A and B are shown apart, each in its own frame.
Chain A
């Protein structure tokens, strides 16, 4: 399920760390529409793997500087994709219930959803697919012993391996059978990518943007296309588009 939420801004200035604002908006919407679902996703102590991914598109004219994004059209589009119908419906309901209602993002800016459309998902029929990233892919190398995170990019040699390792833990028990072998056989090629530094919650993360291809089981590719790739997907990272 893929939705596009067209939003209107009150002011054309957005902080460069806009992702946390979008998530905050989303959380507030979900909390208002379905408490149980909110608890399921963002409840206290919950650190669950979110079954969806998002990206934000700033409708031009846009000027980006060190601290701010100036959206002169005052319009942004939040793209959302999920393989899970239940999550999809809940998220749609949440945002749909807040349609045309202003939400305060910061002292001087507010946001509201004005239009909701959905996009027909493409179906991957072959064992290979080429994707474009709609939001940067975060490759997080988590050290269990020290508990520290290290963020890699496509330039690192073991980037693909880390992605697959993360997938193994994320997808454990998600499918009716053990798919660890399929994940092992998955081939990720970074075709034409660039490195970006993203500010997120006072943290500067390095991430990758561009075109990549994946080769593997068809259902797995379809799932990744719908769910997104990499870490921090619920925070507007890792959304893919089929090309």
Chain B
């Protein structure tokens, strides 16, 4: 064994996205400092496989530490210390409720969970923890602050008792061993399972209780044995790297959404005879796939900048830093945000020989989604950073579900889809059921501007110039018409009806219908039709919609206006 440790290296070359993500993960785990980079190839000395299982889990625990249930348990230590330091002087009813919430929702819940109890079993403290858990009780909460003040001394006494128990528990969990084992258990179910499943410690029928040992025997030892073995007699080839392999036993079935059970589903392979198998080294590297992705909750992201190994690592570490670094809020919006940040940095540090297009892989709803990000898209996102930023907190409700406008706008940008459908929806909801929309007309104008540039990037609306003259003046025209209506009758309820008909015309692309309604409106208020409206008649794709939607946005007015007007019944205009 010693001999191969000394000189041998594992040479990895970039390939398809999944392989690249796995390599990225592998290098993340062994540490960049141990790797030699040559363009799109990396050489990792075999001695890095020593204690690989420790490095594997350590990487995940270090990276996702603050999102783990384990951290939620031990982070209460600060609270305990805080109360002890000032001798419970600032304890109030609210604080007591917080302590109870911790005991009920975190401590008791996690301590009784299967994965954590099994971790304690490994640590040999299961019995003690069980005892402690049983003794751990919520403290009775008085009805109000007055009652609380009266009973405060008793409460403090019982809190002190609970704190003693908690401290002991946290002591067990917070120890190095606790972090190592409980943390490992946590990352398995929150992070690693996103990448692969069903084998080693993720096999439900596994016989080895220690996850470290399980990983070592299943992945690491196999790889080392393979490296040591004499491969001359092996007659098959690894599906990924082409190295000789003995048999087809190592299939790709354990990788989520990619592998399949060869025994049960032979129809995926030619002539029902499987020829897809991996060498143990590739299998080990594929097991690092989750380390190549950056996860938030159930969503993950990997940027496949596959021209250069080092650059690939850099881009993805930027993503990870953004995902795990800033902000407490954990939702999928952060994934997009992290992506944008990483793209921006990537863009700044661009080197000349790089290709402009970048592939982005997302893990969402248990499946992989792919996007190509051309340079124009990145430019677009950069140009509209402010506008896109304003959309972060906007959303709308459809039935019981709530959708983030921010996500949808970005998704449209990534897929080079125009935003008209989304804009229609937003305007429609604002007219039909204003209470379901958490955005204002300014947001829609922003989306229109983004969309305008998006279409220009794709080669449309060339004659409209680079500025937003058309959108702004169409919006103004809409606002003026709205004011004219309000001047004529401050209680008018005609506006939603008009918007509705205009939207219908826009959705169906019926220019004549749109103009008919517009002319009717201007006839009603006795004003001339602004020039911008006639501009919409230009025969260029998207012009009519852009001007039309901007006009309707202006017509619908500001948020306050809308709220005041929703009570008015819709009347039919032009009687």
- With A1-B516, A1-B519: A89-B527 Cβ-Cβ less than 8 Å: no
Name the residue on A nearest B529 (C-beta): A89
Name the residue on A nearest B518 (C-beta): A89
Asked whether, in the complex, the Cβ of B529 is within 8 Å of the Cβ of A85, the reply is no
Cβ 8 A contact of B534, one of A86, A97, A99: A86
Cβ 8 A contact of A118, one of B511, B519, B526: B519
Asked whether, in the complex, the Cβ of A89 is within 8 Å of the Cβ of B534, the reply is yes
B-facing mask of A78-108, CB < 8 A → 1, else 0? 0000000110111011001101000000000
With a cutoff of 8 Å between Cβ atoms, the chain A residues found around residue B533 in the complex are 89
Give Cα A94 to B412, complex, Å.
Answer: 42
Asked whether, in the complex, the Cβ of A96 is within 8 Å of the Cβ of B527, the reply is yes
Cβ 8 A contact of A33, one of B512, B516, B520, B528: B528
With a cutoff of 8 Å between Cβ atoms, the chain A residues found around residue B512 in the complex are 85
With a cutoff of 8 Å between Cβ atoms, the chain A residues found around residue B516 in the complex are 1
Asked whether, in the complex, the Cβ of B528 is within 8 Å of the Cβ of A86, the reply is no
Cβ 8 A contact of A97, one of B523, B528, B537: B528
Cβ 8 A contact of A116, one of B511, B523, B534: B523
* CB of B380 within 8 Å of the partner chain: no
Of the four ranges (under 10, 10 to 19, 20 to 34, 35 or more), the interface on chain A belongs to 10 to 19
* CB of B202 within 8 Å of the partner chain: no
* CB of A117 within 8 Å of the partner chain: yes
Asked whether, in the complex, the Cβ of A92 is within 8 Å of the Cβ of B519, the reply is yes
Give Cα A116 to B522, complex, Å.
Answer: 10
Q: How far is the CB of A13 from chain B (nearest CB, A)?
A: 30
Give Cα A89 to B520, complex, Å.
Answer: 11
With a cutoff of 8 Å between Cβ atoms, the chain B residues found around residue A85 in the complex are 511-512, 515, 537
With a cutoff of 8 Å between Cβ atoms, the chain B residues found around residue A90 in the complex are 534
A-facing mask of B485-516, CB < 8 A → 1, else 0? 00000000000000000000000000110011
Asked whether, in the complex, the Cβ of B534 is within 8 Å of the Cβ of A92, the reply is no
Cβ 8 A contact of A99, one of B511, B515, B526, B537: B526
Asked whether, in the complex, the Cβ of A118 is within 8 Å of the Cβ of B520, the reply is yes
**Interface SS majority for chain A:** helix
Give Cα A1 to B528, complex, Å.
Answer: 16
A-facing mask of B530-568, CB < 8 A → 1, else 0? 000110010000000000000000000000000000000
Give Cα A231 to B274, complex, Å.
Answer: 80
Give Cα A86 to B529, complex, Å.
Answer: 11
Asked whether, in the complex, the Cβ of A118 is within 8 Å of the Cβ of B537, the reply is no
Count of chain B residues with a beta carbon within 8 Å of a chain A beta carbon: 15
With a cutoff of 8 Å between Cβ atoms, the chain B residues found around residue A97 in the complex are 528
**Interface SS majority for chain B:** helix
Asked whether, in the complex, the Cβ of B515 is within 8 Å of the Cβ of A89, the reply is yes
Q: How far is the CB of B572 from chain A (nearest CB, A)?
A: 14
With a cutoff of 8 Å between Cβ atoms, the chain B residues found around residue A92 in the complex are 519, 522-523, 528-529
With a cutoff of 8 Å between Cβ atoms, the chain A residues found around residue B527 in the complex are 96
Give Cα A1 to B529, complex, Å.
Answer: 14
With a cutoff of 8 Å between Cβ atoms, the chain A residues found around residue B522 in the complex are 92, 96
- With A92-B529, A96-B526, A99-B526: A86-B519 Cβ-Cβ less than 8 Å: no
Which A1-49 residues have a C-beta within 8 angstroms of B?
Answer: 1, 33
Cβ 8 A contact of A93, one of B511, B520, B526, B529: B529
With a cutoff of 8 Å between Cβ atoms, the chain B residues found around residue A96 in the complex are 522, 526-528
With a cutoff of 8 Å between Cβ atoms, the chain B residues found around residue A99 in the complex are 526
Asked whether, in the complex, the Cβ of A86 is within 8 Å of the Cβ of B526, the reply is no
Asked whether, in the complex, the Cβ of B526 is within 8 Å of the Cβ of A88, the reply is no
Give Cα A97 to B526, complex, Å.
Answer: 9
With a cutoff of 8 Å between Cβ atoms, the chain A residues found around residue B537 in the complex are 85-86
Determine which residue in A33, A89, A90 has the highest number of CB atoms from chain B within 10 A of its CB, and name it: A89
Asked whether, in the complex, the Cβ of B515 is within 8 Å of the Cβ of A93, the reply is no
Q: How far is the CB of A233 from chain B (nearest CB, A)?
A: 20
Q: How far is the CB of A82 from chain B (nearest CB, A)?
A: 11
Give Cα A97 to B527, complex, Å.
Answer: 8
Give Cα A64 to B388, complex, Å.
Answer: 69
With a cutoff of 8 Å between Cβ atoms, the chain B residues found around residue A89 in the complex are 515, 519, 529, 533-534
Asked whether, in the complex, the Cβ of B515 is within 8 Å of the Cβ of A118, the reply is no
Give Cα A88 to B527, complex, Å.
Answer: 15
Give Cα A21 to B534, complex, Å.
Answer: 28
With a cutoff of 8 Å between Cβ atoms, the chain B residues found around residue A118 in the complex are 519-520, 523
Name the residue on B nearest A95 (C-beta): B528
B-facing mask of A100-143, CB < 8 A → 1, else 0? 00000000000000001110000000000000000000000000
- With A85-B511, A92-B529: A117-B523 Cβ-Cβ less than 8 Å: yes
With a cutoff of 8 Å between Cβ atoms, the chain A residues found around residue B515 in the complex are 1, 85, 88-89
Name the residue on B nearest A86 (C-beta): B537
Give Cα A118 to B529, complex, Å.
Answer: 14
Give Cα A93 to B534, complex, Å.
Answer: 11
Name the residue on A nearest B527 (C-beta): A96
Give Cα A99 to B526, complex, Å.
Answer: 9
Name the residue on B nearest A33 (C-beta): B528
Determine which residue in B515, B528, B529, B537 has the highest number of CB atoms from chain A within 10 A of its CB, and name it: B528
Give Cα A116 to B520, complex, Å.
Answer: 10
With a cutoff of 8 Å between Cβ atoms, the chain B residues found around residue A93 in the complex are 528-529
With a cutoff of 8 Å between Cβ atoms, the chain A residues found around residue B519 in the complex are 1, 88-89, 92, 118
Q: How far is the CB of B440 from chain A (nearest CB, A)?
A: 30
Give Cα A116 to B537, complex, Å.
Answer: 23
Q: Which 7 A-B pairs have the closest CB atoms?
A: A93-B528, A85-B515, A89-B529, A86-B537, A96-B528, A89-B534, A93-B529
Q: Could you list which residues of chain B lie within 8 angstroms of chain A, going by C-beta atoms?
A: 511-512, 515-516, 519-520, 522-523, 526-529, 533-534, 537
23 contacts between A and B (CB under 8 A): A1-B516, A1-B519, A33-B528, A85-B512, A85-B515, A86-B534, A86-B537, A88-B519, A89-B515, A89-B519, A89-B529, A89-B534, A90-B534, A92-B519, A92-B523, A92-B528, A92-B529, A93-B529, A96-B522, A96-B528, A116-B523, A116-B526, A118-B519
In the complex, besides A89-B519, A118-B519, 7 extra interface pairs with C-beta distance below 8 angstroms are A86-B537, A88-B515, A88-B519, A92-B523, A96-B527, A116-B523, A118-B520
